Amino acid sequence: MTMHKDKARSRWSAELELQVQFYDLDPMEIVWHGNYVKYIEAARCALLDTIDYNYPQMQASGYSWPIIDLHLRYAHPATFGQRIKVSAAIIEWENRLRIEYVICDSASGQRLTRGTTTQVAVDLATREMCFASPPVLFQKLGIEPA
């Protein structure tokens, strides 16, 4: 499988394989565009599990991390029964959490979709957005803050 250059450089990545289900299709018999968000959410959760900082751990640390930006670029449609690989990689973490995604056909490696999400830390006690990632994220990533 061909990997996007940023994913290849990331120390934090995860990949999962899914099979396209009938209920994900639109009337044109391809995956409805909104269902790709569900696929990348599954990959994001798998990635966050690898650093032990998924949604329950975020909440326990005193922060929520809402998505403030989502970009998807569709190259080829996914179809019923197709096996797809969904990869996620952390590419920014200092002031926000930016994750890159690539969805490929499992058999051929052909890229179907790519995208990014951007999340920011929000202090749960004050509901204030943080302008820098809190120390807990750096701890989970195993790096020192800049």
Q: What is the pLDDT of residues 21-45, one digit of tens each?
A: 999 999 999 999 999 999 999 999 9
Using alpha carbons, select from 85, 106, 91 the residue that is nearest to residue 40: 85
Stretch 123-144: mean pLDDT, rounded? 95
Query: Which residue in this structure is represented by tokens 């670029």?
Result: 73
Q: What is the pTM of this model?
A: 0.90
Q: What is the pLDDT of residues 49-90, one digit of tens each?
A: 999 999 999 999 999 999 999 999 999 999 999 999 999 999
6 pLDDT above the threshold of 50: no
What is residue 26's predicted lDDT score, i.e. its pLDDT?
97
Answer for the pair 84, 20: CB distance below 8 angstroms, yes or no. Answer: yes
What is residue 3's predicted lDDT score, i.e. its pLDDT?
34
3-state class (DSSP) for residue 68: strand
d(Cα 42, Cα 86) in Å, to the nearest integer? Answer: 8
H or E stretch including 40? helix 35-50
8-12, 56-60, 81-85, 118-122: the lowest-pLDDT one: 8-12
Nearest 10 degrees: Cα torsion 28, 38, 85, 111 = 50
d(Cα 72, Cα 103) in Å, to the nearest integer? Answer: 10
Average per-residue pLDDT in the chain? 93
